[in-house]
Amino acid sequence: MAIIAFAGPDGISETTRITANIASAGTTLSVRNTEGFSADDFIILGAVGNEQTELVQITTVDSDTQLTISATNFAHNIDDIVSFSPYDEIQFSSASSITGAKTIQGANLDIEWDENSATTEVNLVSVTSGYAFARFVNSETGQQSAWSSAVPVAGFEEDSLRKIIDLARLRTQEATENLISDNDLLDLAKECSDIIETIRKNWGYVQKSTEFDLTAGVQAYARPTDLAGPDSIERLFLGIDNKSLDYLDNKDFWYKMQSIPKTKLTANVAASGTTLNVTDTRAFGTTGSLVINGITAIGYTGKTIRSFTGVTGVSAAITANAEVFRSGDLDQPNEYSFWNNHILFFPPVDRFYNANIDYYSTIPRMTNFSAQTAVPFPHLFTWYLMGEIYNMRGKTTRSDKYLNRFEKGLQLLSLKNRNKQKIKMQPALSYIRRHLRQHSEVLAERIRGDNS
């Protein structure tokens, strides 16, 4: 069983005010202006959150100042707000995961306009795990909003974006509708992540390890999508001997590659094909042996400027754009570089290897309110959001206080991060240098003593 509450829809706008009192069960509504209203539209009578605020539907637009509406449940007075709403109902669903298939739960409910922020609460009796969602529906037109962010049935974790935002709002006494929306704060949380990541890419809490297979004749491999940058690789090695590969600057990589002929297929090749169409063959001999996309025994007996002929050994179909190497130029890689979001190996790969990479990832972005931050100090986000909320209010002193607290917390995070232990080696290096200098001074004194 899950009891879930969702706030009312965005898009509600004050459009006019009542100009004559209307009694309970009344159907004629006098307003300042009916411009923008149409038959079948839903309108809210009264301020959202007031006890007798209600939703009615326009039957006809009678004139510039009068509407015929469905019968009211309550009386409403002159100057009460009349607002347009694109929706009148709320629909609920559940799923086993945030991105999983959704199952509609129960019948649609009327949006409770007399509750603060038009909050509608539902008891999803059959939902005991996973996530709940809601969307708004116009029962007249069938129009639907997008689904809400996922709400975990078991409740939000303390380091979730929902808890972070709620705490920032509580401490600044900032209600959702007053100044800044949840989506605005979501964007600020992403900005905060960027700041943390910029300060230091190699945070210990985003250290990862993964592996991928290398194929003969394939030199470029997609790097991990969450890699913080080329300098965030701690170690790249082949499983065959666990020997780390050396990083090669991109300019040096291409300089070394100048001595290794390489071309590309310009057309697909069928299995047992006898001609390879390529970009250029001039760097290759008139006959030879080739390696393409894992196939290592491809021979040819002739060539033109843009093709190899008399080809044998194509044991499987090969797609266009595959790289073509001479067999004798391939070997076990000992260096790597980067180009166009790919890891490049040198020398080009001669056979199958399993490669392992230890690296630091980007800080995962909190893209929904149930997402949890990877940062071990989630209150850094709270302080940052509080600083920005106060800044929008123009309260610069309070804003500076919490942004400074964020900066100090970031420094503390750096000190506590386990990878900072590398700094402990620096005193040892200083000691060695000092010891060598003292040893040289003692030796110099002995030499002077022997000469005296």
pLDDT at position 421? 43
Residues 6+ apart with CB under 8 A from 375: 193, 196, 205, 363, 381, 413
Identify the DSSP state of 362. Answer: P
Determine if the peptide bond prior to 347 is cis (ω within 30°): yes
Half-sphere exposure of 285 (CA within 13 A, CB side): 11
pLDDT at position 439? 52
3-class SS string, 49-69: CCCCCEEEEEEEECCCCEEEE
Residues 53-97 have pLDDT tens digits of 999 999 999 999 999 999 999 999 999 999 999 999 999 999 999
Domain ranges across the chain: 1-153, 206-360, 426-452
Tokens 């609920």: give the residue. 92
pLDDT at position 452? 42
pLDDT at position 429? 47
Q: What is the pTM (predicted TM-score) of this model?
A: 0.67
Residues of the chain where predicted confidence (pLDDT) is lower than 70: 1-2, 10-12, 14, 176-178, 418-452
- What are residue 92's DSSP bridge partners? 134
